[in-house]
């Protein structure tokens, strides 16, 4: 995960706590999305960024998992095209792995 | 409407192995942060020979010796399946070795900043005098004087007054800083800018050589690389374009630089088209040279996975946009797509803005476009680095957008991707892959009747400049020429025009019925 994003997420978590704070991912690929979810839950597995060794315990969801929470018209306009393009099941399964 | 046309396109590649090692940012960053790294030790063993770069199938496509879809028939990995008897000379361009290119850098340098060791310079001068694309350059006279001693070059590099130029691991020259302390004129910046200038001048020379365009006929040059030249008071003041035209003796031309990251070339093509259609200029050349910083950008992943360093190529191109000649493919200036500031950043919003919206404006559908050329990065370079197959991702998005626009059935997705797409073949040089590498092929395939309508797409990641999070995208449509509007069309062309008009009328009627 991008080092700058790690820094910002760390700051937000410190500011708002991890109880009512979730991370919404929009990645186009299962492995990269899983890596992001892992980084914000147990820490940066590449030990490169501010979240190296920092376990924030944040829950990450991919936007595909939140379909039912979103206004169908907005989802249709913003997300439905990519639903046809990407491997939705693989992404959702990978991201869910890191929510314990 | 008398649309402007694509009169010709040229493509240059330069293999620059030593620049990978000494000037590519992945390698220079590693040298700064981790000089004893395993990667830096292993990397030189993964550099390939010039003959391997020439025979590499995507490079043969780039210079026009193979059509892009021919790559589908070459087993992967392409680096293990070289083209037999491949030539460094191509239909649209040529591949130059680094030792010749260093000579070109000296030739285009107007401020005596480039020093080359005497025997190296003399040999380069001899080879360039025999290179048909550049042999006529008056600028080659610079290679007849100012030869440097090896010790002088070493001293300048050691004192950090000059950027080293290596060839085959040997220090053969340097680029001096152009000011004592101005960071915008440092030895490294001057090196990058001279690389961009020399490679673009090479592409322009190829355009003049391959298409018969006379240097004095060029009215305007738009340079669209990702470099910036200027001094500390105007860091990106310009003007690469005129400096490049000067080398090729385009004495009647003026020009300017246009920037938008990887979308720069598409913006430049649209602007060139407008200038020609408005009658302001008759002949405009859009061109760009290569980016030394991006050499070996994904080298760590390539070395880790046992690949050769495939990002050893500087890319360059030049395209001639001229007045309608009744034959060359037209640029539909009424169907230019743009990602607006208010378009939104989701992939769907971007594709809607740059693909569906401009086609709708002229009553065309996605299914009316035979082929798309978006970001034509070679997937063999990007996939091992985890960036996926970029052209394929674009084709899937366009096909999915077509499903949403009810141009295709969802079950047709894979077939559509196959029909509208082609494998990526361009070096990962930012602005170089962005749509334009296909223009040479596209022009000939339309003239041959293999294609009727093509959409070229440029996309840019503006966030890299840290001024905005906005995305950028521009598209334009290239089409078979139906004949000049102000002249009686040939019978065959006229029939074609009637068929096309009827097809458009039916398509529009069908669309309105669907809408009801």
Three-state DSSP at B220 gives strand
| B401/A29 touch (CB, cutoff 8 Å), yes or no | no
Q: Residue B368: its pLDDT value, please?
A: 98
Closest CA to B244 of B269, B260, B221: B221
Banded pLDDT at B492 (limits 50, 70, 90): very low
C-beta of residue B473 within 8 angstroms of C-beta of residue B263: yes
Interface of chain B against chain A, CB under 8 Å? 344, 346-349, 351, 386, 388, 393, 396-397, 400-401, 403-404, 410, 413
In whole angstroms, give the CA distance from residue B245 to residue B223: 10
State the Cα–Cα distance between residues A16 and A38, nearest whole angstrom.
20
- Whether the pLDDT of residue B121 is over 90: the answer is yes
pLDDT of the residue at B513: 64
Could you list the residue range(s) of the whole structural domain that residue B339 is in? Answer: 332-515
Which of A13-22, B47-56, B119-128, B132-141 is least confident? A13-22
Give the residue from A1, A75, A84, A85 with the most B CB atoms within 10 Å of its CB, the best one to mutate: A85
Q: How far is the alpha carbon of A8 from chain B, nearest alpha carbon, in Å? A: 15
CA neighbours within 13 Å on the CB side: how many for B338? 13
- Residues of chain B found within 8 Å of residue A82, distances taken between Cβ atoms: 346-348, 397, 400
Q: Which residues of A touch B404 (CB under 8 A)?
A: 80-81
Residue B339 pLDDT exceeds 50: yes
Cβ-based contacts of B346 with chain A (< 8 Å): 78-79, 82
CB proximity A73 to B under 8 Å: no
Stretch B384-404: mean pLDDT: 94
Note whether residue B73 is domain-resident: no
Q: How high is the mean pLDDT of chain A?
A: 93
- Closest to B401 (Cβ–Cβ): which among A28, A78, A81? A81
B479 in any annotated domain: yes
B348·A31 Cβ contact <8 A: no
- pLDDT tens-digit profile of B57-73? 999 999 999 999 999 99
Strands B313-322 and B283-288: antiparallel
pLDDT of residue B387: 85
CA distance B503 to B516: 20
Q: What is residue B485's predicted lDDT score, i.e. its pLDDT?
A: 65
- DSSP string computed for B68-120: GGGGGGSPSPGGGSPPTT--SB-SSEEEE-HHHHHHHHHHH-SSS-EEEBHHH
Interface check A82 vs B, CB under 8 A: yes
A4 touches chain B (CB under 8 A): no
A31: contact with B, CB 8 A cutoff:
yes
Which CATH number does the domain housing residue B355 bear? 3.40.47
Q: Has the ipTM of the complex gone over 0.90? A: no
> A87 and chain B: CB distance < 8 Å anywhere?
no
Q: Look at residue B438 and tell me if it is in a domain.
A: yes
Average pLDDT of B370-391? Answer: 94
Number of domains in chain B: 1
Nearest residue, CB atoms, A82 vs list B348, B403, B410: B348
pLDDT for B494 equals 53
Mean pLDDT for B103-111 is 98
For chains A and B, CB pairs below 8 A equal 37
Per DSSP (E only), the strands in B323-386 are 330-338, 371-373
Please tell me if residue A93 touches chain B, with a CB cutoff of 8 Å.
no
If you measure CA to CA, which chain A residue comes closest to B390? A28
Q: Do A81 and B347 touch (CB under 8 A)?
A: yes
Calculated CA dihedral for residues B410, B412, B414, B417, nearest 10 degrees: -100
What is the pairing mode between strands B93-96 and B220-223? unpaired
- Chain A neighbors of B400, CB-CB under 8 A: 81-82, 84-85
Mention every residue, 6+ apart, whose C-beta is less than 8 A from residue A79. Answer: A63, A64, A67, A70, B346, B348
Look at B348 and A28 and tell me if their CB atoms are within 8 Å.
Answer: no
User: A4-20 pLDDT, tens per residue?
Assistant: 899 999 999 999 998 88
> Among B56, B53, B51, which Cα is nearest to B78's?
B56
Least confident segment among B184-198, B287-301, B364-378, B479-493: B479-493
Name which of B388, B325, B369, B314 is nearest B17 in CA terms.
B314
Question: With 70 as the cut, is the pLDDT of residue B155 above it?
Answer: yes
- pLDDT band at B504; cut points 50, 70, 90: low
Q: What is the mean pLDDT of residues B143-169?
A: 97
Asked, for residue B351, whether it belongs to a domain, the answer is yes
Closest residue to B348, CB basis, from A28, A29, A81: A81
CA distance linking residue B200 with residue B196, whole number of Å? 6
Distance (Å, whole) CA B109 – CA B194: 7
Q: For the segment B287-323, what is each residue's pLDDT rounded down to a tens digit?
A: 999 999 999 999 999 999 999 999 999 999 999 999 9
Q: Do A81 and B413 touch (CB under 8 A)?
A: no
């Amino acid at each position: 995960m991008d080092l700058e994003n790690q820094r910002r997420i760390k700051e937000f978590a410190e500011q708002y706590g991890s109880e009512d704070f979730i991370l919404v991912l929009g990645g186009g690929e299962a492995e990269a999305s899983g890596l992001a979810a892992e980084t914000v839950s147990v820490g940066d597995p590449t030990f490169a960024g501010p979240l190296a060794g920092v376990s924030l315990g944040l829950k990450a969801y991919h936007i595909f998992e939140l379909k039912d929470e979103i206004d169908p018209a907005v989802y249709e306009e913003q997300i439905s095209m990519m639903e046809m393009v990407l491997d939705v099941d693989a992404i959702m399964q990978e991201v869910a792995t890191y929510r314990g | 409407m008398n649309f402007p046309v694509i009169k010709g396109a040229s493509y240059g590649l330069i293999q620059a192995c030593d620049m990978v090692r000494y000037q590519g940012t992945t390698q220079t960053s590693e040298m700064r942060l981790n000089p004893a790294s395993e990667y830096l030790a292993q990397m030189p063993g993964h550099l390939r020979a010039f003959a391997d770069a020439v025979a590499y199938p995507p490079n043969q496509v780039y210079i026009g010796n193979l059509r892009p879809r021919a790559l589908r028939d070459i087993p992967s990995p392409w680096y293990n399946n070289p083209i037999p008897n491949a030539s460094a000379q191509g239909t649209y361009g040529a591949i130059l070795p680094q030792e010749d290119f260093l000579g070109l850098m000296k030739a285009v340098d107007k401020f005596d900043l480039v020093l080359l060791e005497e025997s190296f310079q003399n040999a380069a001068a001899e080879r360039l005098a025999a290179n048909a694309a550049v042999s006529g350059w008056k600028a080659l006279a610079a290679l007849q004087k100012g030869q440097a001693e090896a010790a002088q070059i070493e001293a300048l590099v050691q004192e950090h007054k000059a950027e080293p130029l290596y060839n085959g691991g040997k220090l053969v020259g340097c680029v001096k800083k152009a000011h004592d302390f101005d960071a915008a004129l440092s030895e490294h910046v001057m090196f990058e800018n001279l690389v961009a200038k020399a490679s673009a001048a090479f592409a322009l020379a190829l355009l003049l050589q391959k298409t018969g365009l006379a240097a004095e006929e060029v009215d305007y040059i738009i340079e669209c690389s990702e470099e910036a030249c200027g001094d500390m008071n105007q860091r990106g003041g310009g003007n690469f374009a005129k400096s490049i035209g000067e080398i090729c003796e385009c004495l009647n031309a003026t020009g300017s630089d246009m920037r938008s990251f990887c979308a720069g070339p598409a913006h430049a093509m649209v602007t060139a088209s407008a200038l020609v259609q408005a009658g302001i200029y008759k002949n405009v050349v859009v061109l760009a040279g290569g980016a030394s910083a991006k050499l070996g950008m994904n080298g760590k992943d390539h070395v880790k996975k046992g690949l050769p360093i495939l990002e050893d190529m500087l890319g360059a191109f030049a395209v001639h946009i001229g007045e309608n000649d009744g034959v060359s493919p037209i640029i539909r200036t009424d169907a230019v797509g743009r990602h607006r500031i208010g378009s939104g950043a989701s992939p769907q919003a971007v594709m809607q803005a740059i693909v569906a919206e401009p086609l709708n404006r002229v009553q065309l559908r996605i299914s009316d476009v035979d082929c798309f050329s978006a970001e034509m990065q070679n997937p063999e370079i990007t996939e091992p680095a985890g960036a996926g197959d970029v052209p394929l991702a674009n084709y899937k998005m366009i096909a999915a957008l077509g499903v949403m626009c009810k141009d295709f059935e969802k079950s047709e997705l894979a077939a559509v991707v196959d029909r509208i797409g082609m494998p990526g073949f361009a070096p990962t040089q930012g602005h170089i892959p962005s749509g334009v590498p296909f223009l040479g092929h596209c022009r000939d395939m339309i003239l041959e009747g293999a294609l009727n309508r093509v959409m070229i797409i440029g996309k840019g990641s503006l966030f890299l400049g840290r001024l905005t999070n906005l995305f950028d995208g521009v598209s334009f449509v290239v089409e078979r020429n139906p004949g000049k509007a102000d002249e009686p069309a040939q019978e065959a062309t006229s029939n074609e025009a009637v068929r096309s008009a009827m097809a458009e009328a039916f398509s529009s009627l069908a669309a309105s019925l669907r809408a009801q």
